[in-house]
Amino acid sequence: MKKCLAALLVLALGLSLAAACGAEGESTLYVKKVENLPEDFIFGMDASCVIALEESGVKYYDFDGNEEDVFKVLKDNGVNYIRVRIWNDPYDANGNGYGGGNNDIDKAVLIGQRATKYGMKLLVNFHYSDFWADPSKQMAPKAWAGMEIEEKTQAVYEYTRESLIKLRDAGVDVGMVQVGNETNNLMCGERIWFNIQYLMQAGAKATREIFPEALVALHFANPEKAGSYATYAKKMDYYQVDYDVFASSYYPYWHGSLENLAAVLDEIAVTYGKKVMVMETSYAYTAEDTDFNGNTIGDGGAIVKNYPFTVQGQANNVRDITDTIVNHVTNGIGVVYWEGTWISVGGKSWEENSALWEKHGSGWASSYAAQYDPNDAGRYYGGNAVDNQAMFDQFGHPLESLKVFRLMRAGNEIALRADALEDVQIICDLNGTLQLPDTVNAVMNDDSKQEIPVVWHLSEEDKQDMYAGGVNQYVITGTAGGMEAHCYVSMVEYNFLQDYSFEENSSAWVFTDLTQADELYIEDKKTDSLTGTKHAHFWSAKQNSVEFTLEQQVEELPEGKFKFTISIMGGDAGNTDIYAYVKVNGEIVAKAPLKITSYGNWDTAATDAFAHHAGEAVTVGIYVKCQGAGNGAWGKIDDALLNSVK
């Protein structure tokens, strides 16, 4: 049914594609048009690390493969805002940089001038810290340590004012100033809103004086925390903080759904008449690391992966966020991609890269940051943990996803193709037939899901080796939609019984006492079990008081040939009559004798093969009768197997 639907879809799309092609024929990126996109919508790129990277030897290229100023490449691809973070003094007493770009005001001036040169506005991001500020970390700058709130407020005002004057005097076109970074209940060492609001007011005041045309933004994170944004906005309103933009980080791995993001931002825009935007987002285009410093986002971990980790997936994330901000919230003004230019410094080993990170501050933190930030930077300093989320490859060439900013305006709804394939997992009975699926699940370039045909590369010889290899695991590769598909096959001896080792206390096994044994039960005693910790136990004090069956009625047995195997050990048994058996429709069709000898000597027996046809009821079991040597007998039964045979 599903397969038919997929075929119809392809047919229908094939018809509509002829009309869609040609809009942006040069890109292989699928981009669904964002309707109602304003001409002046902010498409920002945080490019804070660029200068430290260039000092480390990094070069950037345009789409033709020519070396080019990365700011020009960004501009040519639809970016109109450059965001830059500013730390007050990210250096130790000897002038060694803390890393993360060593971004002080002087770096911001250099970055701002280059943004201005190519006609992009600068979004100034004051952290009011000497290093990274985020929801869990808002340390005051060294120079402001111990300041009371009045003094600190004045310091924020003066520092903001002086920094903005430097930018103004350097001719930088500042479009927006962010007062604090991800200030969720914390800012610049302050922990109560009564104090935090003074700092925000001071930053806003300085901005209004130096860049009266610029927007003042406040920036928060964790839109998924119910009620938190409404609370922040209410506090701002209560204290009458002067700001224009309520901005949010939105990393889809952690920050909830786009619907929730739209709802919480819209509420603030409507209630308080503020502009809203996404101030940070990014997405992985690959799970691979490129700089010998492990990445925050990879294949594992309990995170939400809304899109495949592909260049197309990265672009779809940006497109869908933009659509949300433009069409699903009131007063949505922009989306800024975070550090899309932060790539590997390009060395061939960790040591080589580490030397560059330490010297130029091009990793997330250098060892010199340890004194200021001992618990985080001091312990985990190193390179780039987001190189797989950049919009440039490790060599500085732009990824096709960078075109998304430009292509969203008209759309680039090219032919659908598979963008990522789901792995297939199969368990195959060694005596059964290996059946590989003829389709695999694909995520298409428009983020829709389809089942597409697959051709597996498995020779008859390979297949025979798999059957000959016993219990084992294999990966079979195939081709689907022009990509490599993977099928993980576990070759097993499939056991058609439930609770085969008596570990689950299930009702699958039934004892029937035919005399009056003293003890018949499932016992939990590892030393007396063949495998696991439990087994079926029997014991009786008197002679001739052990006679019972232990049976399981088999559920959902396919047609075919099977054999039943079970194990027993015990002692003091005297004359015995013990056998494993199979009943089909109530008649015993196969038997295998067993014997009890002494403690620890397990006897295992398998019945001959028997055939099972559709509709027949199959029961397997063991019959045990012991005369007892002197007194009664005892024993243990474990590990029942019902396997198919050829």
Active site residues: 182, 280
The answer for residues whose C-beta is within 8 angstroms of residue 37's C-beta and 6 or more apart is 322, 326, 408, 409
Residues 373-432 touching Ca ion, rule: CB under 5 A, are 384, 387
Q: How far is the CB of 301 from Ca ion (least distance, A)?
A: 15
Query: Of 298 and 437, which CB lies nearer to Ca ion in the complex structure?
Result: 298
Total residues contacting Ca ion (rule CB under 5 A)? 6
Strands 483-492 and 424-429: parallel
The whole-angstrom separation of Cα 412 and Cα 178 is 33
Residue with tokens 């559709």: 614
Q: How far is the CB of 295 from Ca ion (least distance, A)?
A: 5
Q: How far is the CB of 296 from Ca ion (least distance, A)?
A: 9
CB atoms within 10 A of CB 597: 13
Q: How far is the CB of 127 from Ca ion (least distance, A)?
A: 22
The whole-angstrom separation of Cα 534 and Cα 519 is 15
Query: Of 377 and 626, which CB lies nearer to Ca ion in the complex structure?
Result: 377
Q: Directed axis angle between helix 149-169 and helix 105-117, to 10°?
A: 40
CB of 190 closer than 8 Å to CB of 146? no
Question: For Ca ion, what does the binding mask look like between residues 443 and 462, x meaning CB under 5 A?
Answer: --------------------
Query: Of 295 and 445, which CB lies nearer to Ca ion in the complex structure?
Result: 295
Which class for 503: exposed (0-12), middle (13-18), buried (19 or more C-beta within 10 A)?
Answer: middle
Query: Of 50 and 284, which CB lies nearer to Ca ion in the complex structure?
Result: 284
Looking from the CA of 443 toward its CB, the CA atoms found within 13 Å total 17
Query: Of 344 and 607, which CB lies nearer to Ca ion in the complex structure?
Result: 344
Tokens of 357: 């990170």
DSSP label of 125: E
Burial 335-356 (b: 16+ CB within 10 A, else e): bbbbbbbbbbbbbeeeeebbeb
The whole-angstrom separation of Cα 70 and Cα 76 is 10
The whole-angstrom separation of Cα 51 and Cα 110 is 8
Query: Of 293 and 576, which CB lies nearer to Ca ion in the complex structure?
Result: 293
Q: How far is the CB of 353 from Ca ion (least distance, A)?
A: 9
How many separate helices (H) and strands (E) can be counted in the chain? 13, 26
Question: For Ca ion, what does the binding mask look like between residues 254 and 293, x meaning CB under 5 A?
Answer: -----------------------------------x-x-x
The vertex-640 CA angle with 618 and 469, nearest 5°, equals 105
Tokens of 482: 């022009």
Query: Of 97 and 347, which CB lies nearer to Ca ion in the complex structure?
Result: 347
Query: Of 308 and 363, which CB lies nearer to Ca ion in the complex structure?
Result: 363
CB atoms within 10 A of CB 374: 10
The whole-angstrom separation of Cα 296 and Cα 254 is 12
Q: How far is the CB of 537 from Ca ion (least distance, A)?
A: 57
Query: Of 91 and 338, which CB lies nearer to Ca ion in the complex structure?
Result: 338
Tokens of 345: 């410094």
Query: Of 295 and 367, which CB lies nearer to Ca ion in the complex structure?
Result: 295
The whole-angstrom separation of Cα 388 and Cα 216 is 31
| CA nearest to 31, candidates 398, 391, 307, 414 | 414
Backbone angles phi, psi at 237, to 5 degrees: -70, -45
Tokens of 622: 């063991």
Residues 293-312 touching Ca ion, rule: CB under 5 A, are 293, 295
The vertex-258 CA angle with 41 and 313, nearest 5°, equals 80
Q: How far is the CB of 300 from Ca ion (least distance, A)?
A: 15
Q: How far is the CB of 47 from Ca ion (least distance, A)?
A: 18
Burial 69-90 (b: 16+ CB within 10 A, else e): ebbbbbbbbbbbbbbbbbbbbb
Query: Of 81 and 283, which CB lies nearer to Ca ion in the complex structure?
Result: 283
Q: How far is the CB of 345 from Ca ion (least distance, A)?
A: 10
Question: For Ca ion, what does the binding mask look like between residues 492 and 521, x meaning CB under 5 A?
Answer: ------------------------------
The whole-angstrom separation of Cα 203 and Cα 189 is 15
Q: How far is the CB of 293 from Ca ion (least distance, A)?
A: 4
Q: How far is the CB of 253 from Ca ion (least distance, A)?
A: 16
Query: Of 285 and 405, which CB lies nearer to Ca ion in the complex structure?
Result: 285
The answer for residues whose C-beta is within 8 angstroms of residue 384's C-beta and 6 or more apart is 291, 293, 295, 342, 343, 344, 345, 362, 363, 364
Tokens of 182: 């991800």
The whole-angstrom separation of Cα 449 and Cα 235 is 43
Strands 546-553 and 560-571: unpaired
Q: How far is the CB of 292 from Ca ion (least distance, A)?
A: 7
Q: Where does this chain bind Ca ion (CB under 5 A)?
A: 289, 291, 293, 295, 384, 387
